[in-house]
Structure 1
Amino acid sequence: MSLKTLALVAPPIRRLWQDRITLISERDALAKANKELRLSLEAASNLKQNPFFHYHCSFDALDVLKRHEQANLVADNAHVTNFLGVKVSPRFFPGILDGKGGTIEPPPIPANWHADIAEWAAALRAVDLAEEKFRAVELGCGWGCWLNNTGVAARNRGLSVQLTGIEGDSGHVEFAKEALASNGFSSDNYRIIHGVAAPQKGTALFPVVENAGASWGSEPILNATDLQIREASASRQFEILPALSLEEIALGEPLDLLHIDIQGGEADYIDAAVQDINRYVRYIVIGTHSRQIEGRIMSTLLANGWSLEMERPAIIGIIDGIPQIAVDGVQGWRASPAGRH
C-alpha cells in the first residue's frame, strides 16, 4: 500500500477505533448504572420487607411525618433532638441512647428507637385535626413521650397546649416532668399524675423499680384489697397509688388525643371505660399487646361508632407453638361525627 493510500485509509481507521473506545466507555457506564439501579432496587425491596412498612391507613402517613418535620434544628449536646425538635435525655434510655447527645434524628421512616411510622403518624394525625387548643392525655406516660411529641407538634402549628399524663413509676414521673421542662412547657401547660388509669376510682399497687430507665413494662394491680394493700405496704415492693377514671384525669374536658399504652390492660380498660371515652375523646392511639387484644378493641370501638384510621398489627414470634409478642401493635381511632365535641 502506498503512503498516499495509507494516508487516505488512516483517518477512517482512527475514527473507527475512537468510536469503538467511545462505545466501550458508554457500555461500561451503562453497565455500571444498571448495576447501581439493580442494587438500589434490591435495597428498596429489602427495605419494603421491613415489618414497620406493613401498616394500613386511611390517610397519607408519610406525608404527615414529612409535614411536621422541622427545618434548621439546632443540636443540643445534652439531648437527642428528633425531627419535631423534641429533646430527649439519653439518661432515660441507657444502652439505647448512650453517646447520642448532640445528634438530630431524621423522620422515623420506617421506625426509630422508640416507635414506627404507624404510631408517629397516628399521634400527629390527632394534632392535625385539633383546632385552637390541643388537649392530650397519655395513660402510662413514661417519660411523657407522646405528650412531648404531640405537644411540641401542636405548638409548632400555633395551637395552645394542655397536656396530662398519668404514670405509676415514680422515676418515670420525674423523667416526664424533666422532659416537659426541657421542651419548653411550664406547669401551666401540663399535669403529671403519680397514679394509675382505671375504669373507676380506687386503689392500685405498682411495682417498685430500682432503675427507671431500664424498666418500661411494669403492670399495676387494680382494685387492690385491704389485705393486698397491707402486704404491699409491709413488703415495700409496691407503691400504693390512686386509681383514677378518665373523667377525673381529663377534668371533664374534651380531649384531642388519648394515648393508651398500659402493658396489656388496654382492651379491659376500653371495655370498661368506653362511655367516658365516647364522651370526652376525639382521637385514640393505642399500643396493643396481643392479637386477641386487637380484636377485642376493634369489636368494642366499632360497636360504638368509632372509625379505624391506622392499624399495624402486633409483631409476634412463635415459641413452642405459642405466640409471643415481639413488638407492640398500633391502632388509631377517630370518633364518629356525633362524638366529636
Structure 2
Amino acid sequence: MLKTAALKIPQIRRLWQDRANLLAERNLLRQQNDQLRSEGAEPGSVFFHYNCSFDAIDTINRHARNDLTANPSYVTNFLGVKVSPRFFPGILDGRAGTLEPIPIPANWHADIAEWAAALRAVDLASGCFRVVELGCGWGCWLINTGAAARHKGLAVELIGIEGDSEHVAYAHEAMAANGFSGDEFRIIHGVAAPERGVALFPVVENAGASWGSEPILSATAEQIKEASASGHYQQLPAFSLAEIVKGEPVDLLHIDIQGGEADFVEAAIGDLNKFVRYIVIGTHSRQIEGRIMSTLLSRGWKLEMERPAIIGLPDGRPQIQVDGVQGWRNAGAV
C-alpha cells in the first residue's frame, strides 16, 4: 500500500481532487433523491397512472440508499445494484461510473409500479427472502430485490431460470459483481413451463440487444426436428414451478415471459397457490391482463398493484408500447 508521505505533491493534489469529485457526485445524488422525495417528478407522466393498495412511492423511497459510491465500471442504481453497460448496448453506453437517482416515475428499466410491487414483497418477508424470476435475463429482479432484502438484514435465496446461454452468463457475472455468493443464488439454463418437458428457444446473435425471446413449449417431434435443422432454435429442458422452487415457499415470483404469462398462470395455478406469497407480472396485452385477473381473483388472490399495458392504435389495432404490471398477494399465504 502506498503511504501518503511517499507521494509527490501532484499525486496528493490529484487524490484530493478525485475525493472532491466523488463527494460532489454523492451530494448531487442526495439532492436529486431529496427533490424526488419531496416533489415527485414529471407529474404528467403516464407512469404515475397506476392503481395501488399501498403507498408505492413511499415504498421505493424507503429502500433508496444514500450511502452509495460510484464504480467506474458500472452504472449503480438507487439500491446500490451495479449494472454493466455491456449488458445493454445503446441504452447504457457511456454511463459507467454514474449513480442513478430514484426511478420516480421511471428509469431506463422499470417504472413506479414494477419497482414498488417488487419491493413490497421484500417488505412482507422476514428471516430469509426467497425470490424466483422466470426469464431472469441478467438477474435483474433477483439482484435488485436481493440487494434490498440484504440491506434490510434478511438472508437471501435467489433463483432464476433463463433460456439464453449468454444471459445466463450475464446473470452469474452480475451476481459476483454485486457480492452474492454461490450458495445464495441458483441460475437454471432452461425454460419455465406448466410441466416438465422440452422447449425450443430462439438463438440470438446479440444477447445484450435481445431481451424478448419467446420459447415454443410443447413442441411436436416434427417442430423439434425442423427447428434443430434450421439452427435458429435450441432445445432446452422445461421445468415446472414445483421443480424450480424444490417444494419450498417463495416470497416473490417475478414473471415476464413475453406473452405467455396468462397461459402459465392458468396452468400453474395449483403450484402458485401452494408455494408463492407474492407475484409481480409483466403483462403484454390487455387481453392477457384480463385473463390473469380472472384466474387469480377466482382463487382468492388480492391485486395490490396494477398499471395497464400502454398501447398505441396504429390502423385501429392495439399495439403494445410498454408492458403492463400487476402485483398480486396470496390471501392464503403459504
Relative to the length of structure 1, the TM-score reads 0.85
| Contact 2:194/2:239, CA 8 A, preserved across alignment | yes
| Contact 2:114/2:280, CA 8 A, preserved across alignment | yes
Q: 1:228 to 1:252 in 2, by over 3 A?
A: same
SS of the residue 1:320 aligns to: helix
Structure 1 residue 234, shift from structure 2 partner = 1.9
Residue of structure 2 equivalent to 1:36: none
Structure 1 residue 180, shift from structure 2 partner = 0.9
Structure 1 residue 45, shift from structure 2 partner = 11
Residue of structure 2 equivalent to 1:113: 108
SS of the residue 2:129 aligns to: strand
CA distance in 2, matches of 1:298, 1:103: 39
Residue of structure 1 equivalent to 2:205: 210
Residue of structure 2 equivalent to 1:285: 280
Matched, 1:340 2:324: no
Number of aligned residue pairs: give it. Answer: 296
CA distance in 1, matches of 2:48, 2:167: 30
Q: 1:332 to 1:46 in 2, by over 3 A?
A: closer
Structure 1 residue 47, shift from structure 2 partner = 2.5
Query: What is the one-letter code of the residue matched to 2:88?
Result: F
Structure 1 residue 48, shift from structure 2 partner = 2.1
SS of the residue 2:126 aligns to: coil
Query: What is the one-letter code of the residue matched to 1:340?
Result: A
- Which of 309, 312, 316 is 1:314 aligned to? 309
| Contact 2:258/2:284, CA 8 A, preserved across alignment | yes
Residue of structure 2 equivalent to 1:267: 262
CA distance in 2, matches of 1:154, 1:46: 26
SS of the residue 2:158 aligns to: strand
SS of the residue 1:227 aligns to: helix
Structure 1 residue 328, shift from structure 2 partner = 0.1
Structure 1 residue 130, shift from structure 2 partner = 0.3
Structure 1 residue 105, shift from structure 2 partner = 0.5
Deviations 1:104-125 (A, max 9, x none): 0111000000000000000000
Deviations 1:284-325 (A, max 9, x none): 000000000000100000000000000000000001010000
- Which of 177, 184, 188 is 1:182 aligned to? 177
CA distance in 1, matches of 2:126, 2:54: 19
Residue of structure 1 equivalent to 2:153: 158
| Contact 2:302/2:328, CA 8 A, preserved across alignment | yes
Query: What is the one-letter code of the residue matched to 1:293?
Result: I
Query: What is the one-letter code of the residue matched to 1:97?
Result: L
Query: What is the one-letter code of the residue matched to 2:310?
Result: I
Deviations 1:148-203 (A, max 9, x none): 00000000001000010001111111111111111111110111111110000100
CA distance in 1, matches of 2:228, 2:305: 42
| Contact 2:41/2:104, CA 8 A, preserved across alignment | no
CA distance in 1, matches of 2:105, 2:113: 9
CA distance in 2, matches of 1:202, 1:110: 40
Residue of structure 2 equivalent to 1:25: none
CA RMSD of aligned residues (A): 1.2
SS of the residue 1:165 aligns to: strand
Matched, 1:236 2:231: yes
Deviations 1:262-294 (A, max 9, x none): 000000000000000000000000000000000
Residue of structure 2 equivalent to 1:330: 325
Residue of structure 1 equivalent to 2:241: 246
Which protein shows a greater Rg? 1
Query: What is the one-letter code of the residue matched to 2:250?
Result: L
CA distance in 1, matches of 2:285, 2:113: 16
